[in-house]
A and B are shown apart, each in its own frame.
Chain A
Protein backbone atom coordinates (compact mmCIF):
# COMPACT_ATOMS: atom_id res chain seq x y z
CA UNK A 1 0.00 0.00 0.00
CA UNK A 2 2.20 2.82 1.18
CA UNK A 3 5.39 2.07 -0.68
CA UNK A 4 8.22 1.28 1.71
CA UNK A 5 11.30 3.50 1.64
CA UNK A 6 13.05 3.45 -1.73
CA UNK A 7 16.00 1.06 -1.85
CA UNK A 8 19.17 2.93 -1.13
CA UNK A 9 21.29 3.25 -4.28
CA UNK A 10 24.42 2.39 -2.33
CA UNK A 11 24.89 -1.12 -3.63
CA UNK A 12 26.60 -0.10 -6.85
CA UNK A 13 28.49 2.73 -5.22
CA UNK A 14 29.88 0.33 -2.64
CA UNK A 15 30.90 -2.13 -5.36
CA UNK A 16 32.66 0.62 -7.28
CA UNK A 17 34.60 1.97 -4.34
CA UNK A 18 35.16 -1.43 -2.79
CA UNK A 19 38.46 -2.16 -4.64
CA UNK A 20 39.77 1.25 -3.59
CA UNK A 21 39.80 0.08 0.01
CA UNK A 22 43.43 -0.84 -0.34
CA UNK A 23 44.20 2.84 -0.67
CA UNK A 24 41.43 4.11 1.57
CA UNK A 25 41.40 3.41 5.24
CA UNK A 26 40.06 0.16 6.54
CA UNK A 27 37.42 2.04 8.48
CA UNK A 28 35.94 3.55 5.33
CA UNK A 29 35.86 0.15 3.64
CA UNK A 30 34.10 -1.33 6.61
CA UNK A 31 31.55 1.47 6.56
CA UNK A 32 30.92 0.91 2.85
CA UNK A 33 30.40 -2.81 3.24
CA UNK A 34 28.07 -2.24 6.16
CA UNK A 35 26.12 0.26 4.08
CA UNK A 36 25.97 -2.16 1.16
CA UNK A 37 24.61 -4.84 3.46
CA UNK A 38 21.99 -2.45 4.75
CA UNK A 39 21.01 -1.49 1.20
CA UNK A 40 20.68 -5.14 0.23
CA UNK A 41 18.50 -5.83 3.24
CA UNK A 42 16.32 -2.80 2.46
CA UNK A 43 15.89 -3.97 -1.15
CA UNK A 44 14.88 -7.44 0.00
CA UNK A 45 12.42 -5.92 2.47
CA UNK A 46 10.81 -3.80 -0.25
CA UNK A 47 10.59 -6.82 -2.56
CA UNK A 48 8.91 -8.85 0.18
CA UNK A 49 6.40 -6.05 0.75
CA UNK A 50 5.58 -5.78 -2.94
CA UNK A 51 5.34 -9.55 -3.41
CA UNK A 52 3.20 -10.06 -0.33
CA UNK A 53 0.72 -7.30 -1.12
CA UNK A 54 0.55 -8.31 -4.79
CA UNK A 55 -0.18 -11.90 -3.80
CA UNK A 56 -2.94 -10.77 -1.44
CA UNK A 57 -4.42 -8.52 -4.14
CA UNK A 58 -4.34 -11.34 -6.68
CA UNK A 59 -6.02 -13.68 -4.21
CA UNK A 60 -8.83 -11.14 -3.65
CA UNK A 61 -9.17 -10.61 -7.39
CA UNK A 62 -9.42 -14.36 -8.03
CA UNK A 63 -11.90 -14.87 -5.20
CA UNK A 64 -14.09 -11.99 -6.40
CA UNK A 65 -14.06 -13.28 -9.97
CA UNK A 66 -14.62 -16.96 -9.13
CA UNK A 67 -17.49 -16.25 -6.73
CA UNK A 68 -19.01 -13.03 -8.08
CA UNK A 69 -21.12 -11.05 -5.65
CA UNK A 70 -22.76 -7.71 -6.21
CA UNK A 71 -21.28 -6.44 -2.96
CA UNK A 72 -17.63 -7.40 -3.37
CA UNK A 73 -16.23 -6.08 -6.64
CA UNK A 74 -12.79 -7.33 -7.77
CA UNK A 75 -9.97 -4.95 -6.70
CA UNK A 76 -9.23 -4.16 -10.35
CA UNK A 77 -12.75 -2.78 -10.72
CA UNK A 78 -12.31 -0.54 -7.67
CA UNK A 79 -8.97 0.60 -9.07
CA UNK A 80 -10.59 1.40 -12.42
CA UNK A 81 -13.32 3.37 -10.62
CA UNK A 82 -10.69 5.31 -8.69
CA UNK A 83 -8.79 6.12 -11.89
CA UNK A 84 -11.92 7.19 -13.75
CA UNK A 85 -13.44 9.19 -10.88
CA UNK A 86 -10.71 10.57 -8.68
CA UNK A 87 -7.63 10.80 -10.89
CA UNK A 88 -9.17 13.45 -13.12
CA UNK A 89 -7.85 16.58 -11.43
CA UNK A 90 -5.27 19.08 -12.64
CA UNK A 91 -1.55 18.35 -12.15
CA UNK A 92 -1.12 20.95 -9.39
CA UNK A 93 -3.72 18.97 -7.39
CA UNK A 94 -1.63 15.80 -7.87
CA UNK A 95 -4.28 14.77 -10.44
CA UNK A 96 -6.82 14.26 -7.65
CA UNK A 97 -10.28 15.59 -8.32
CA UNK A 98 -12.21 18.20 -6.36
CA UNK A 99 -14.57 15.74 -4.66
CA UNK A 100 -11.86 13.54 -3.16
CA UNK A 101 -9.73 16.48 -2.07
CA UNK A 102 -12.73 18.14 -0.44
CA UNK A 103 -13.67 15.17 1.75
CA UNK A 104 -10.06 14.15 2.40
CA UNK A 105 -9.13 17.71 3.37
CA UNK A 106 -12.08 18.02 5.75
CA UNK A 107 -11.22 14.75 7.50
CA UNK A 108 -7.46 15.33 7.68
CA UNK A 109 -7.99 18.85 9.02
CA UNK A 110 -10.27 17.68 11.82
CA UNK A 111 -8.13 14.68 12.63
CA UNK A 112 -4.91 16.68 12.91
CA UNK A 113 -6.55 19.56 14.83
CA UNK A 114 -8.10 17.19 17.36
CA UNK A 115 -4.99 15.05 17.64
CA UNK A 116 -2.68 18.05 18.10
CA UNK A 117 -4.91 19.45 20.83
CA UNK A 118 -5.02 16.02 22.51
CA UNK A 119 -1.22 15.73 22.30
CA UNK A 120 -0.59 19.18 23.80
CA UNK A 121 -3.14 18.67 26.59
CA UNK A 122 -2.07 15.08 27.22
CA UNK A 123 1.66 15.81 27.45
CA UNK A 124 1.23 18.91 29.66
CA UNK A 125 -1.17 17.20 32.05
CA UNK A 126 0.88 14.02 31.90
CA UNK A 127 4.09 15.78 32.97
CA UNK A 128 2.22 17.53 35.78
CA UNK A 129 0.68 14.29 37.02
CA UNK A 130 3.85 12.30 36.46
CA UNK A 131 5.81 14.72 38.65
CA UNK A 132 3.26 15.18 41.42
CA UNK A 133 2.14 12.09 43.34
CA UNK A 134 -0.40 14.24 45.22
CA UNK A 135 -2.10 15.44 42.03
CA UNK A 136 -1.98 11.88 40.73
CA UNK A 137 -3.79 10.58 43.81
CA UNK A 138 -6.52 13.18 43.37
CA UNK A 139 -7.31 12.53 39.70
CA UNK A 140 -6.49 8.85 39.39
CA UNK A 141 -10.12 7.58 39.64
CA UNK A 142 -11.25 10.29 37.19
CA UNK A 143 -8.56 9.35 34.70
CA UNK A 144 -9.34 5.64 35.02
CA UNK A 145 -13.04 6.35 34.47
CA UNK A 146 -12.44 8.77 31.62
CA UNK A 147 -10.32 6.37 29.63
CA UNK A 148 -12.88 3.60 30.15
CA UNK A 149 -15.75 5.53 28.56
CA UNK A 150 -16.04 4.44 24.93
CA UNK A 151 -15.68 7.87 23.24
CA UNK A 152 -18.31 7.07 20.64
CA UNK A 153 -20.92 6.97 23.44
CA UNK A 154 -20.54 10.74 23.72
CA UNK A 155 -21.66 11.36 20.14
CA UNK A 156 -25.37 11.79 21.03
CA UNK A 157 -24.54 14.17 23.91
CA UNK A 158 -22.05 16.18 21.84
CA UNK A 159 -24.55 16.29 19.01
CA UNK A 160 -26.83 18.38 21.21
CA UNK A 161 -24.12 20.35 23.01
CA UNK A 162 -22.14 21.45 19.95
CA UNK A 163 -24.34 22.56 17.06
CA UNK A 164 -21.28 23.32 14.92
CA UNK A 165 -20.25 20.11 13.17
CA UNK A 166 -16.52 20.80 12.97
CA UNK A 167 -16.26 21.74 16.67
CA UNK A 168 -18.24 18.60 17.54
CA UNK A 169 -15.89 16.35 15.55
CA UNK A 170 -12.78 17.94 17.01
CA UNK A 171 -14.04 17.81 20.60
CA UNK A 172 -14.91 14.12 20.19
CA UNK A 173 -11.43 13.39 18.78
CA UNK A 174 -9.79 15.20 21.71
CA UNK A 175 -11.90 13.32 24.27
CA UNK A 176 -10.96 9.99 22.75
CA UNK A 177 -7.36 10.56 21.72
CA UNK A 178 -6.06 12.24 24.88
CA UNK A 179 -5.92 9.10 27.07
CA UNK A 180 -3.03 7.17 25.50
CA UNK A 181 -0.91 10.37 25.42
CA UNK A 182 -1.79 11.26 29.02
CA UNK A 183 -1.27 7.77 30.44
CA UNK A 184 1.95 7.14 28.53
CA UNK A 185 3.38 10.52 29.50
CA UNK A 186 2.62 9.79 33.17
CA UNK A 187 4.25 6.36 32.86
CA UNK A 188 7.23 7.82 31.00
CA UNK A 189 7.83 10.63 33.48
CA UNK A 190 7.41 8.32 36.47
CA UNK A 191 9.90 5.91 34.96
CA UNK A 192 12.72 8.49 34.83
CA UNK A 193 15.76 7.44 36.84
CA UNK A 194 15.49 9.19 40.26
CA UNK A 195 19.27 9.76 40.19
CA UNK A 196 18.83 11.86 37.04
CA UNK A 197 16.16 13.98 38.72
CA UNK A 198 18.32 14.41 41.82
CA UNK A 199 21.21 15.54 39.62
CA UNK A 200 18.97 18.07 37.91
CA UNK A 201 17.88 19.38 41.32
CA UNK A 202 21.43 19.60 42.66
CA UNK A 203 22.63 21.43 39.54
CA UNK A 204 19.65 23.83 39.86
CA UNK A 205 18.70 23.41 36.20
CA UNK A 206 16.10 25.97 35.14
CA UNK A 207 12.51 24.87 34.58
CA UNK A 208 12.63 25.28 30.79
CA UNK A 209 15.81 23.24 30.36
CA UNK A 210 14.59 20.70 32.89
CA UNK A 211 11.45 20.19 30.82
CA UNK A 212 12.94 20.33 27.32
CA UNK A 213 16.35 18.87 28.11
CA UNK A 214 15.59 16.20 30.69
CA UNK A 215 11.94 15.31 31.30
CA UNK A 216 10.67 15.17 27.72
CA UNK A 217 13.67 13.38 26.16
CA UNK A 218 13.77 10.83 28.98
CA UNK A 219 10.07 10.05 28.65
CA UNK A 220 10.06 10.32 24.83
CA UNK A 221 10.01 6.60 23.93
CA UNK A 222 6.90 5.98 26.04
CA UNK A 223 5.24 9.21 24.91
CA UNK A 224 5.83 8.35 21.24
CA UNK A 225 4.00 5.04 21.69
CA UNK A 226 1.10 7.02 23.14
CA UNK A 227 1.16 9.40 20.17
CA UNK A 228 0.95 6.48 17.73
CA UNK A 229 -2.00 4.88 19.50
CA UNK A 230 -3.82 8.19 19.85
CA UNK A 231 -3.40 9.03 16.16
CA UNK A 232 -5.09 5.72 15.28
CA UNK A 233 -7.92 6.60 17.68
CA UNK A 234 -8.16 10.09 16.16
CA UNK A 235 -8.63 8.64 12.67
CA UNK A 236 -11.24 6.17 13.89
CA UNK A 237 -13.20 8.86 15.70
CA UNK A 238 -12.99 11.20 12.69
CA UNK A 239 -14.60 8.57 10.50
CA UNK A 240 -17.27 7.60 13.05
CA UNK A 241 -18.08 11.18 13.93
CA UNK A 242 -18.55 12.03 10.26
CA UNK A 243 -21.16 9.31 9.98
CA UNK A 244 -23.49 11.39 12.18
CA UNK A 245 -24.99 14.61 10.88
CA UNK A 246 -22.00 15.59 8.73
CA UNK A 247 -22.09 16.84 5.16
CA UNK A 248 -18.43 16.32 4.29
CA UNK A 249 -15.51 14.10 5.21
CA UNK A 250 -14.42 10.53 4.50
CA UNK A 251 -16.88 8.97 6.97
CA UNK A 252 -19.75 10.90 5.39
CA UNK A 253 -18.69 9.93 1.85
CA UNK A 254 -18.34 6.28 2.84
CA UNK A 255 -21.78 6.12 4.45
CA UNK A 256 -23.30 8.09 1.56
CA UNK A 257 -21.96 5.56 -0.97
CA UNK A 258 -23.40 2.72 1.12
CA UNK A 259 -26.81 4.37 1.38
CA UNK A 260 -26.89 4.77 -2.40
CA UNK A 261 -25.93 1.09 -2.81
CA UNK A 262 -22.91 2.21 -4.82
CA UNK A 263 -20.70 -0.73 -3.83
CA UNK A 264 -17.69 0.14 -5.95
CA UNK A 265 -17.60 3.69 -4.62
CA UNK A 266 -18.00 2.38 -1.08
CA UNK A 267 -14.96 0.12 -1.41
CA UNK A 268 -13.08 2.95 -3.06
CA UNK A 269 -13.74 5.33 -0.12
CA UNK A 270 -12.16 2.78 2.22
CA UNK A 271 -8.88 3.24 0.32
CA UNK A 272 -8.12 6.83 1.45
CA UNK A 273 -9.08 5.90 5.03
CA UNK A 274 -6.72 2.92 4.93
CA UNK A 275 -3.97 5.03 3.36
CA UNK A 276 -4.36 7.70 6.07
CA UNK A 277 -4.16 5.06 8.78
CA UNK A 278 -1.04 3.56 7.25
CA UNK A 279 0.63 6.93 6.66
CA UNK A 280 0.09 8.03 10.25
CA UNK A 281 1.28 4.70 11.58
CA UNK A 282 4.39 4.72 9.39
CA UNK A 283 5.25 8.34 10.21
CA UNK A 284 5.05 7.85 13.97
CA UNK A 285 6.80 4.50 13.81
CA UNK A 286 9.65 6.10 11.88
CA UNK A 287 9.79 8.95 14.38
CA UNK A 288 9.82 6.60 17.31
CA UNK A 289 12.49 4.36 15.74
CA UNK A 290 14.69 7.37 15.00
CA UNK A 291 14.18 8.73 18.51
CA UNK A 292 14.83 5.37 20.14
CA UNK A 293 17.94 4.77 18.08
CA UNK A 294 19.31 8.18 19.06
CA UNK A 295 18.81 7.46 22.71
CA UNK A 296 20.32 4.01 22.41
CA UNK A 297 17.16 2.02 23.06
CA UNK A 298 16.75 -1.31 21.28
CA UNK A 299 14.14 -1.71 18.54
CA UNK A 300 10.98 -2.47 20.52
CA UNK A 301 9.58 -4.74 17.75
CA UNK A 302 6.42 -2.64 17.77
CA UNK A 303 4.97 -4.20 20.84
CA UNK A 304 1.52 -3.27 22.02
CA UNK A 305 1.66 -2.08 25.59
Chain B
Protein backbone atom coordinates (compact mmCIF):
# COMPACT_ATOMS: atom_id res chain seq x y z
CA UNK B 1 0.00 0.00 0.00
CA UNK B 2 2.84 2.37 0.83
CA UNK B 3 4.10 2.01 -2.73
CA UNK B 4 0.83 3.52 -3.94
CA UNK B 5 1.06 6.47 -1.59
CA UNK B 6 3.57 8.30 -3.70
CA UNK B 7 1.87 7.50 -6.97
CA UNK B 8 -1.70 8.27 -5.99
CA UNK B 9 -1.50 10.68 -3.06
CA UNK B 10 -0.89 13.89 -4.95
CA UNK B 11 -3.53 16.27 -3.59
CA UNK B 12 -3.79 19.34 -5.75
CA UNK B 13 -4.46 21.83 -3.05
CA UNK B 14 -1.32 23.34 -1.52
CA UNK B 15 -2.46 23.56 2.11
CA UNK B 16 -3.82 20.04 2.05
CA UNK B 17 -0.64 18.85 0.34
CA UNK B 18 1.47 20.41 3.08
CA UNK B 19 -0.79 18.84 5.73
CA UNK B 20 -0.58 15.48 3.98
CA UNK B 21 3.20 15.76 3.84
CA UNK B 22 3.55 16.72 7.47
CA UNK B 23 1.28 13.94 8.66
CA UNK B 24 2.82 11.28 6.43
CA UNK B 25 3.00 7.86 8.09
CA UNK B 26 0.66 9.03 10.85
CA UNK B 27 -2.93 8.01 10.02
CA UNK B 28 -4.14 9.01 13.49
CA UNK B 29 -2.99 12.60 13.05
CA UNK B 30 -4.53 12.70 9.59
CA UNK B 31 -7.82 11.37 10.92
CA UNK B 32 -7.79 13.97 13.67
CA UNK B 33 -7.18 16.79 11.21
CA UNK B 34 -9.98 15.41 9.03
CA UNK B 35 -12.37 15.62 11.98
CA UNK B 36 -11.19 19.14 12.83
CA UNK B 37 -11.62 20.30 9.22
CA UNK B 38 -15.16 18.89 9.14
CA UNK B 39 -16.02 20.58 12.45
CA UNK B 40 -14.62 23.88 11.18
CA UNK B 41 -16.70 23.59 8.01
CA UNK B 42 -19.84 22.90 10.08
CA UNK B 43 -19.01 25.85 12.36
CA UNK B 44 -18.53 28.15 9.36
CA UNK B 45 -21.70 26.96 7.64
CA UNK B 46 -23.72 27.50 10.78
CA UNK B 47 -22.18 30.93 11.56
CA UNK B 48 -22.59 32.28 8.03
CA UNK B 49 -26.19 31.15 7.73
CA UNK B 50 -25.57 28.47 5.13
CA UNK B 51 -27.11 26.13 7.69
CA UNK B 52 -29.98 27.65 9.67
CA UNK B 53 -28.36 28.17 13.10
CA UNK B 54 -31.77 28.09 14.80
CA UNK B 55 -32.10 24.43 13.85
CA UNK B 56 -28.48 23.38 13.33
CA UNK B 57 -26.33 25.27 15.84
CA UNK B 58 -22.53 25.26 15.41
CA UNK B 59 -20.44 22.49 17.01
CA UNK B 60 -19.07 24.95 19.59
CA UNK B 61 -22.59 24.94 21.05
CA UNK B 62 -23.55 21.34 20.29
CA UNK B 63 -20.50 19.54 21.66
CA UNK B 64 -20.53 21.23 25.12
CA UNK B 65 -24.29 20.59 25.26
CA UNK B 66 -23.67 16.92 24.47
CA UNK B 67 -21.20 16.80 27.37
CA UNK B 68 -23.67 18.36 29.83
CA UNK B 69 -26.37 15.98 28.59
CA UNK B 70 -24.28 13.13 29.95
CA UNK B 71 -24.82 14.44 33.49
CA UNK B 72 -28.61 14.63 33.19
CA UNK B 73 -30.37 11.75 34.96
CA UNK B 74 -33.19 11.62 32.36
CA UNK B 75 -30.74 11.02 29.56
CA UNK B 76 -28.76 8.48 31.58
CA UNK B 77 -31.98 6.56 32.35
CA UNK B 78 -32.81 6.63 28.65
CA UNK B 79 -29.33 5.48 27.72
CA UNK B 80 -29.55 2.61 30.19
CA UNK B 81 -32.93 1.49 28.84
CA UNK B 82 -31.62 1.68 25.25
CA UNK B 83 -28.56 -0.39 26.09
CA UNK B 84 -30.56 -3.04 27.95
CA UNK B 85 -33.20 -3.28 25.18
CA UNK B 86 -30.43 -3.54 22.60
CA UNK B 87 -28.58 -6.28 24.51
CA UNK B 88 -31.75 -8.26 25.29
CA UNK B 89 -32.95 -8.07 21.67
CA UNK B 90 -29.54 -9.11 20.42
CA UNK B 91 -29.36 -12.01 22.88
CA UNK B 92 -32.77 -13.31 21.78
CA UNK B 93 -31.85 -12.92 18.11
CA UNK B 94 -28.55 -14.73 18.62
CA UNK B 95 -30.07 -17.64 20.54
CA UNK B 96 -32.89 -18.20 18.04
CA UNK B 97 -30.86 -17.54 14.88
CA UNK B 98 -27.95 -19.81 15.80
CA UNK B 99 -30.17 -22.73 16.86
CA UNK B 100 -32.50 -22.44 13.86
CA UNK B 101 -29.57 -21.79 11.52
CA UNK B 102 -27.65 -24.81 12.83
CA UNK B 103 -30.60 -27.15 12.26
CA UNK B 104 -31.35 -25.73 8.80
CA UNK B 105 -27.71 -25.74 7.78
CA UNK B 106 -27.28 -29.38 8.77
CA UNK B 107 -30.57 -30.54 7.16
CA UNK B 108 -30.63 -29.59 3.47
CA UNK B 109 -34.24 -30.72 2.94
CA UNK B 110 -35.48 -28.54 5.78
CA UNK B 111 -33.41 -25.63 4.52
CA UNK B 112 -34.96 -25.86 1.05
CA UNK B 113 -38.44 -25.77 2.57
CA UNK B 114 -37.65 -22.85 4.87
CA UNK B 115 -35.66 -20.78 2.36
CA UNK B 116 -38.74 -19.18 0.71
CA UNK B 117 -40.07 -18.12 4.12
CA UNK B 118 -36.72 -16.63 5.13
CA UNK B 119 -36.28 -14.84 1.82
CA UNK B 120 -39.80 -13.42 2.02
CA UNK B 121 -39.65 -12.29 5.63
CA UNK B 122 -36.13 -10.87 5.59
CA UNK B 123 -36.73 -7.85 3.32
CA UNK B 124 -39.73 -6.72 5.39
CA UNK B 125 -38.61 -3.66 7.36
CA UNK B 126 -39.21 -4.11 11.09
CA UNK B 127 -40.82 -0.66 11.29
CA UNK B 128 -43.58 -1.89 8.99
CA UNK B 129 -44.56 -4.28 11.78
CA UNK B 130 -44.34 -1.53 14.39
CA UNK B 131 -47.95 -0.28 14.08
CA UNK B 132 -49.19 -3.86 14.25
CA UNK B 133 -47.27 -4.64 17.41
CA UNK B 134 -48.28 -1.31 18.93
CA UNK B 135 -51.93 -2.06 18.34
CA UNK B 136 -51.59 -5.69 19.44
CA UNK B 137 -49.75 -5.28 22.67
CA UNK B 138 -48.99 -1.63 23.25
CA UNK B 139 -45.44 -0.45 22.95
CA UNK B 140 -43.18 -0.99 25.90
CA UNK B 141 -39.54 -1.98 26.21
CA UNK B 142 -40.50 -5.68 26.10
CA UNK B 143 -42.25 -5.46 22.74
CA UNK B 144 -39.48 -3.29 21.36
CA UNK B 145 -37.05 -6.01 22.39
CA UNK B 146 -39.03 -8.51 20.32
CA UNK B 147 -38.96 -6.28 17.25
CA UNK B 148 -35.25 -5.62 17.72
CA UNK B 149 -34.72 -9.38 17.77
CA UNK B 150 -36.75 -9.75 14.54
CA UNK B 151 -34.83 -6.99 12.79
CA UNK B 152 -31.38 -8.16 13.82
CA UNK B 153 -31.66 -11.94 13.54
CA UNK B 154 -31.22 -12.24 9.75
CA UNK B 155 -27.46 -11.79 9.34
CA UNK B 156 -26.75 -14.34 12.12
CA UNK B 157 -29.31 -16.78 10.70
CA UNK B 158 -28.06 -16.62 7.11
CA UNK B 159 -24.40 -16.82 8.09
CA UNK B 160 -25.03 -19.74 10.46
CA UNK B 161 -26.87 -21.64 7.72
CA UNK B 162 -24.09 -20.96 5.21
CA UNK B 163 -21.31 -21.78 7.67
CA UNK B 164 -22.84 -24.99 8.97
CA UNK B 165 -23.73 -26.16 5.45
CA UNK B 166 -20.32 -25.46 3.95
CA UNK B 167 -18.48 -27.66 6.45
CA UNK B 168 -15.44 -29.49 5.06
CA UNK B 169 -16.66 -32.99 3.98
CA UNK B 170 -13.38 -34.52 5.13
CA UNK B 171 -14.06 -33.30 8.67
CA UNK B 172 -17.58 -34.74 8.56
CA UNK B 173 -16.31 -38.12 7.29
CA UNK B 174 -13.71 -38.16 10.03
CA UNK B 175 -16.34 -37.47 12.70
CA UNK B 176 -18.61 -40.19 11.26
CA UNK B 177 -15.72 -42.67 11.26
CA UNK B 178 -15.26 -41.97 14.94
CA UNK B 179 -18.89 -42.92 15.52
CA UNK B 180 -20.35 -39.47 16.12
CA UNK B 181 -24.09 -39.02 15.56
CA UNK B 182 -25.74 -36.12 13.75
CA UNK B 183 -26.32 -33.97 16.82
CA UNK B 184 -22.86 -34.55 18.16
CA UNK B 185 -21.32 -33.76 14.75
CA UNK B 186 -23.36 -30.55 14.69
CA UNK B 187 -22.13 -29.50 18.12
CA UNK B 188 -18.50 -30.59 17.87
CA UNK B 189 -17.66 -30.19 14.17
CA UNK B 190 -20.12 -28.13 12.17
CA UNK B 191 -20.79 -25.27 14.60
CA UNK B 192 -17.14 -24.70 15.59
CA UNK B 193 -16.17 -24.72 11.91
CA UNK B 194 -18.88 -22.15 11.22
CA UNK B 195 -17.84 -19.90 14.13
CA UNK B 196 -15.93 -17.26 12.13
CA UNK B 197 -18.86 -16.78 9.75
CA UNK B 198 -21.33 -16.68 12.64
CA UNK B 199 -19.16 -14.05 14.33
CA UNK B 200 -19.32 -11.87 11.22
CA UNK B 201 -23.11 -12.18 11.23
CA UNK B 202 -23.15 -11.32 14.92
CA UNK B 203 -21.09 -8.18 14.31
CA UNK B 204 -23.52 -6.98 11.63
CA UNK B 205 -26.52 -7.86 13.79
CA UNK B 206 -25.05 -5.91 16.71
CA UNK B 207 -25.06 -2.71 14.65
CA UNK B 208 -28.53 -3.40 13.22
CA UNK B 209 -29.93 -4.06 16.69
CA UNK B 210 -28.69 -0.71 18.05
CA UNK B 211 -30.13 1.18 15.08
CA UNK B 212 -33.43 -0.71 15.43
CA UNK B 213 -33.62 -0.02 19.18
CA UNK B 214 -33.15 3.74 18.88
CA UNK B 215 -35.40 3.96 15.80
CA UNK B 216 -38.24 2.10 17.50
CA UNK B 217 -37.95 4.30 20.60
CA UNK B 218 -38.11 7.40 18.45
CA UNK B 219 -40.98 6.20 16.28
CA UNK B 220 -43.23 4.88 19.05
CA UNK B 221 -43.34 8.32 20.64
CA UNK B 222 -43.17 7.02 24.21
CA UNK B 223 -40.51 9.07 25.97
CA UNK B 224 -38.43 6.00 26.78
CA UNK B 225 -34.82 5.33 25.91
CA UNK B 226 -32.35 7.48 24.01
CA UNK B 227 -34.74 7.74 21.04
CA UNK B 228 -37.62 8.73 23.30
CA UNK B 229 -35.46 11.36 24.99
CA UNK B 230 -34.57 12.76 21.58
CA UNK B 231 -38.23 12.88 20.57
CA UNK B 232 -38.99 14.78 23.78
CA UNK B 233 -36.17 17.31 23.28
CA UNK B 234 -37.07 17.78 19.62
CA UNK B 235 -40.76 18.25 20.40
CA UNK B 236 -39.83 20.99 22.90
CA UNK B 237 -38.22 22.80 19.98
CA UNK B 238 -36.30 25.31 22.13
CA UNK B 239 -33.10 23.33 22.57
CA UNK B 240 -31.76 22.45 19.09
CA UNK B 241 -28.25 21.98 20.50
CA UNK B 242 -29.57 19.17 22.70
CA UNK B 243 -31.29 17.43 19.75
CA UNK B 244 -28.03 17.44 17.79
CA UNK B 245 -26.15 16.55 20.98
CA UNK B 246 -28.21 13.37 21.37
CA UNK B 247 -27.48 12.57 17.73
CA UNK B 248 -23.75 12.93 18.40
CA UNK B 249 -24.00 10.74 21.51
CA UNK B 250 -25.95 8.08 19.59
CA UNK B 251 -23.27 8.13 16.92
CA UNK B 252 -20.50 7.81 19.50
CA UNK B 253 -22.33 4.91 21.18
CA UNK B 254 -22.64 3.19 17.81
CA UNK B 255 -19.00 3.89 17.00
CA UNK B 256 -17.85 2.46 20.33
CA UNK B 257 -19.93 -0.68 19.82
CA UNK B 258 -18.84 -1.15 16.19
CA UNK B 259 -15.16 -0.71 17.04
CA UNK B 260 -15.44 -3.09 20.00
CA UNK B 261 -17.13 -5.85 17.99
CA UNK B 262 -14.72 -5.48 15.07
CA UNK B 263 -11.73 -5.61 17.43
CA UNK B 264 -13.17 -8.62 19.26
CA UNK B 265 -13.74 -10.44 15.98
CA UNK B 266 -10.20 -9.74 14.80
CA UNK B 267 -8.76 -10.89 18.11
CA UNK B 268 -10.77 -14.09 18.53
CA UNK B 269 -10.48 -15.17 14.90
CA UNK B 270 -6.98 -13.86 14.23
CA UNK B 271 -6.05 -17.34 12.96
CA UNK B 272 -8.75 -17.27 10.27
CA UNK B 273 -7.51 -16.87 6.68
CA UNK B 274 -9.81 -13.91 5.98
CA UNK B 275 -8.27 -11.92 8.85
CA UNK B 276 -4.74 -12.94 8.03
CA UNK B 277 -5.36 -11.74 4.47
CA UNK B 278 -6.88 -8.47 5.68
CA UNK B 279 -3.94 -7.80 8.00
CA UNK B 280 -1.23 -8.34 5.42
The minimal Cβ–Cβ distance linking A215 to chain B, given in whole angstroms, is: 12
- The residue from A145, A155, A303 contacting B162, defined by CB atoms under 8 A apart: A303
- The contact of B158 among A142, A235, A274, A304, by CB within 8 Å, is A304
Chain B residue at minimum C-beta to C-beta distance from A55? B113
Pairwise interchain contact B132-A153, C-beta atoms closer than 8 A = no
Q: State whether B162 touches A152 (Cβ < 8 A).
A: no
Let me know if A48 and B116 touch, CB within 8 A. Answer: yes
Q: Would you give the 0/1 interface string for A81-109, flagging 1 where the beta carbon is closer than 8 Å to chain B?
A: 00000000000000000000000000000
Closest to A160 in B: B55
A150 to B200, CA, bound (A): 20
How many residues in A have their beta carbons less than 8 Å from beta carbons of B? 67
| Distance in angstroms between the alpha carbons of A139 and B116 in the assembled complex | 41
Q: Does B169 contact A (CB under 8 A)?
A: no
- With known contacts A48-B112, A142-B34, A145-B255, A281–B135 Cβ distance under 8 A: no
Taking the nearest CB of chain A, how far is it from the CB of B115, in angstroms? 8
Of all chain B residues, which has the CB nearest A132? B8
**6 nearest CB pairs, A to B:** A277-B123, A156-B234, A148-B254, A258-B131, A134-B9, A160-B55
| Residues of chain A lying within 8 A (CB to CB) of residue B31 | 137-141
User: Is A52 interfacial (CB 8 A cutoff)?
Assistant: yes
B14 contacts A by Cβ under 8 Å: no
Inter-chain contacts of A194 with B (CB < 8 A): 4
Flag whether A294 is at the interface (Cβ < 8 A). Answer: no
Stretch at the interface among B72-80, B181-189, B209-217: B209-217
Assess the A301–B162 pair: CB atoms within 8 A: yes
Given contacts A53-B117, A160-B240, A301-B166, contact A153 B34 (CB under 8 A): no
Given the interface pairs A139-B34, A140-B31, A301-B166, the reply to whether A149 lies near B254 with Cβ below 8 Å is: yes
Q: A-side interface residues toward B, CB under 8 Å? A: 1, 48-49, 51-53, 56, 69, 71-72, 131-135, 137-142, 144-157, 159-161, 194, 201, 232, 235-236, 239-240, 243, 251, 254-255, 257-258, 261, 263, 266-267, 270, 273-274, 277-278, 280-281, 301-305
A81 to chain B, nearest CB (A): 15
B154 touching A304 by the CB < 8 A rule? yes
A138 touches B30 (CB 8 A): yes
Interface residues, chain B, with chain A CB atoms under 8 Å away: 1-2, 4-5, 7-9, 11, 20, 23, 27, 30-35, 37-38, 51-52, 54-56, 112-117, 119-120, 122-129, 131-132, 134-136, 154-155, 158-159, 162, 165-166, 197, 200-201, 204, 207, 210-211, 214-215, 218-219, 227, 230-231, 233-234, 237, 240, 243-244, 246-247, 250-255, 257-259
Q: Which residues of B sit under 8 angstroms from A56, Cβ to Cβ?
A: 117
| Complex A-B: 30 CB contacts under 8 Å | A133-B2, A138-B34, A139-B31, A139-B34, A140-B27, A140-B34, A142-B34, A142-B38, A148-B251, A149-B254, A150-B211, A151-B211, A152-B227, A153-B250, A157-B240, A157-B244, A160-B237, A161-B55, A161-B56, A235-B123, A243-B127, A263-B135, A270-B128, A274-B120, A278-B119, A303-B158, A303-B162, A304-B154, A304-B155, A305-B200
Q: A286 to nearest B CB, angstroms?
A: 13
Contact among A131, A156, A281 for B122, CB-based, below 8 A: A281
Whole-angstrom CA separation of A151 from B212 in the bound complex = 10
A71 touching B255 in the complex, CB below 8 Å, given contacts A150-B214, A277-B124? no
**Do A144 and B131 touch across chains, with their CB atoms under 8 A apart?**
no
| Residue in A134, A156, A301 whose beta carbon sits within 8 Å of that of B30 in the complex | A134
Question: What's the Cα separation between A140 and B34 when bound, in Å?
Answer: 8
Contacts of A240 in B (CB 8 A): 125, 127, 215, 219
Flag if A274 contacts B4 (CB, 8 Å). Answer: no
